[in-house]
Amino acid sequence: SPSATAAYVDRSGTTHQLPDAAADAQVRADDRGHVFHSWSAQAKIDPMPVAAGEGSTFWDYQGNAYLDFSSQLVNLNLGHQHPDLVAAIQQQAGRLATIQPIMANDVRGELARRIAEVAPGDLDKVFFTNGGADANEYAVRMARAVTGRRKVLSMYRSYHGGTAAAISLTGDPRRWANDPSDGSVAHFFGPYAYRSPFHATTEAEEAQRALEHLENLIVLEGAATVAAVIIETIVGTNGVLVPPAGYLPGVRALCDKYGIVYIADEVMVGFGRIGEWFAVNHFGVTPDLITFAKGVNSGYVPLGGVVISDRIAAHFDDVAFAGGLTYSGHPLACAAGVATFEVFERDAILERVRDLGSRIVEPALRAMAERHPSVGEVRGVGLFWAIELVRDASTREPLVPFNASGPDAAPMAELAAACKAAGLWPFTHFNRVHVAPPLVITEEELVRGLAIIDEALEVADRYV
């Protein structure tokens, strides 16, 4: 089990005492008494009090250390307490903590310029939001204003956020209780070679059939009613589904053919997760709008946004854009964003992610796939991977049923518990374990964490 300590040493060598058992009890009492949590049956959860974090590790109030292989919610790209981000926020707070959105300031402007510089094509303007869901809300609003159309097409097996429009775009079970069903969203199947909805046998066939399916949907929904297609460049929570070559360029071509706005949701995959600023760069496509959040500043202060093509931005030169947020381009958040760019460049983070992904993670996961009968497939790129678990490799029956909970989900719960007992905080979803550590994880930590997962997979093997 994780070895409990009373203190930890941060990267500057300073020793910090961890809170005692009384503090732990107080946090738990306040939380259970008064905090209403996301996506949960309130009486069935037991949130872990987190006392401190440093780099890729965090400590609970009992002094147990966890190596974070989920980067919190795949947002903590530069790890806990990065000194450059902390200093940037502190300095900004010391001189100008907030201004309203219609005003300009240095960090807001610099962050927008830097984002535009790394975005593909003519995506040159940035509308800032507070997070990913509202970025998608606003991207859709822009697409509707520009096209004069209302409908939006999005994938099954996708997540676009928890707010009204974003949850109706979402194609996973989180939509079921929230879908306003006003007919303005239609869902389609994206490529998923391992469980091909198109019965394709090759990646090329998968790409081609997925594109035919999308075009059919556009035509049958009425192309003249479709404002936008929104796609996670690599589907995140729903499985790290890396699209086959040709698919995203094909989506781009369909959008051009029918006058549809192509929105790339890069909330999870942008800002270095796969070793690119934006994942579309990896696939050589230029969407009309890119939405981002999470990694832009590792979530130190809430921030998201929409990167906008010149063509779409020009639509609003004389027509007012009807939307806004009090905290759009919040100076503390933008200061952390500018610092993120500086750290990425100085420490060659993108190169590091590509190197660690191909040299360490990929071979380790491929070896696990060989060794464990429960591993059906491993897939990913950079520091963004999924291990898909099955009961039977030949039928590909998932280790737990789709959307399983309670006793049905026991094998995955046991696997997660085994990881935690060994000091690793895993990202598990349905029948998958994702590998998404902070991009600053050390090689030693990465190897150690992968070894913990390797051993924990023996729990899954027992169900084969």
| Binding to ligand PLP, residues 237-256 (CB under 6 A) | 237
Question: Which member of 2, 79, 120, 132 binds ligand PLP (CB under 6 A)?
Answer: 132
Cβ atoms of residues 356 and 446 within 8 Å: yes
Closer residue to ligand PLP in complex, CB, 52/268: 268
Question: Which member of 67, 140, 146, 267 binds ligand PLP (CB under 6 A)?
Answer: 267
Q: 464: how many CB neighbours lie within 10 A of its CB? A: 16
Question: Which member of 114, 151, 157, 160 binds ligand PLP (CB under 6 A)?
Answer: 160
| Binding to ligand PLP, residues 281-310 (CB under 6 A) | 293, 304
Q: What are phi and psi of 233, to 5 degrees?
A: -55, -45
Closer residue to ligand PLP in complex, CB, 2/382: 382
Beta-carbon contacts of 346 under 8 Å, excluding residues fewer than 6 positions away, are none
Stretch 193-232: interaction string toward ligand PLP, x if CB under 6 A: ---------------------------------------x
Least CB distance to ligand PLP at residue 437 (A): 16
Stretch that binds ligand PLP, among 154-162, 186-194, 200-208, 363-371 (CB under 6 A): 154-162
| Binding to ligand PLP, residues 44-73 (CB under 6 A) | 73
Closer residue to ligand PLP in complex, CB, 132/275: 132
155 touches ligand PLP by CB under 6 A: no
| Binding to ligand PLP, residues 78-117 (CB under 6 A) | none
Instruction: Report helix, strand or coil for 460.
Output: helix
User: What are the start-end ranges of the H helices in 331-432?
Assistant: 331-346, 349-356, 362-371, 410-421
Place of tokens 């981000």: 85
The CA distances from residue 69 to 109, 227, 341, 386, 461, in Å, are 33, 37, 23, 12, 21
Least CB distance to ligand PLP at residue 160 (A): 5
Distance in angstroms (rounded) separating the CA atoms of residues 79 and 299: 10
C-alpha 404 chain-centroid distance: 21
Classify burial at 395, counting beta carbons within 10 Å of its beta carbon; exposed 0-12, middle 13-18, buried 19 or more: exposed
Question: Which of these, 308, 386, 370, lies nearest to 115 by C-alpha position?
Answer: 308
Question: Which member of 265, 276, 288, 377 binds ligand PLP (CB under 6 A)?
Answer: 265
Question: Which member of 66, 128, 159, 341 binds ligand PLP (CB under 6 A)?
Answer: 159
Interface contacts to ligand PLP, rule CB under 6 A:
73, 131-133, 136, 159-161, 232, 236-237, 265, 267-268, 293, 304
